[in-house]
Amino acid sequence: MSQVLTVLTTGGQKKGEVTLPASLFGIEPNEHVMYEAVRTFLANQRQGTVATRSRSEVSGGGRKPWRQKGTGRARIGSTRVSHWKGGGLAFGPKPRDFSMRLPKKTKRLALKSALSAKAAASEIVLLEDFVMAETSTKKLAGIIGSLGLGDGRVLLVVKEADTHLLRSARNIENVKVELARELNTYDLLHADQVVMTEGAVAMVEEVFGA
C-alpha cells in the first residue's frame, strides 16, 4: 500500500506531497526478521576484548607451599589456585569474536519492514533537501524544532555527507544524522521519529529498492 506524505520546508511549512514507493514503505512488516537484524547489529558492536588470567598465566605458584601431610593444614598444590588471593580466575572470559552475519536478502527485508512499520505508525517526516552553509547547532536545532518532533530520539537521514550538518548535530541530544545508503534496521527502530530529505528517499529507493 502506497503512503503519501507531505514534504515540509526547513521552516515547517508545507511544500508539496510525495508518494513513497510501496515496495519499501508499504509492505507487511516481518517482526522476526527485524529482530534478527537488530540482534546481529548489536552483536557486531561488541568488541570481545575482555580477558582474564587463568592459573597458567599468573606469576608464581611453581612450588608446593607445604608438604602434603603432617602440618594440620589443608592440602594445597599451588599458591595460584582460584580461591587464593593472586590466583588465576577459573573459567573467566577470554577474547572472542561475537560477530554475526545475515543473508543480504534477509537484511534488506528487515530494512524494508522497519521503513514500512515507521510509515504505518506515522513516524516518518519528509523534509526538503537543504544544505548547511555553516556549522550552527542553533540553526539545526531550530529546523528540528520547527518540525514539531518533541524531545524524542530523531534520526535525520540525508543523501550526501555534509560536514557542517554532521558538526551541527554533534551537540544536539537525541539527534543522529545518517547517510541514506548506510541506513540500517536498528537505527530506524531505535528512533522515535525518522526525518528523511527528498534526496534521501530517492537514494534509499535506488540502493535498497531492488
Question: Averaged over 87-114, what is the pLDDT?
Answer: 94
Domains of the chain by residue range: 3-46+99-208, 47-97
- Between CA 103 and CA 125 the distance in angstroms is 30
Q: Does position 108 have pLDDT exceeding 90, yes or no?
A: yes
Question: Averaged over 88-101, what is the pLDDT?
Answer: 93
- Between CA 186 and CA 92 the distance in angstroms is 31
The CATH superfamily label for domain 3-46+99-208 reads Ribosomal protein L4/L1 (3.40.1370.10)
Query: Would you state the pLDDT for residue 12?
Result: 85
The answer, as to whether pTM is greater than 0.85, is no
Q: How confident is the model at residue 140 (pLDDT cuts 50, 70, 90)?
A: very high
Q: Which three cell numbers stand for residue 50?
A: 575482555
Minimum mean pLDDT range among 86-95, 141-150, 167-176: 141-150
Instruction: Compute, in degrees rounded to 10, the torsion defined by CA atoms 79, 81, 87, 91.
Output: 170
- Between CA 141 and CA 85 the distance in angstroms is 54
Question: Averaged over 139-162, what is the pLDDT?
Answer: 89
Q: Which three cell numbers stand for residue 141?
A: 536545532
Query: Would you state the pLDDT for residue 1?
Result: 61
Q: Does position 40 have pLDDT exceeding 70, yes or no?
A: yes
Mean pLDDT of the chain: 91
Query: Would you state the pLDDT for residue 210?
Result: 63
- Between CA 166 and CA 137 the distance in angstroms is 10
Q: Does position 45 have pLDDT exceeding 70, yes or no?
A: yes
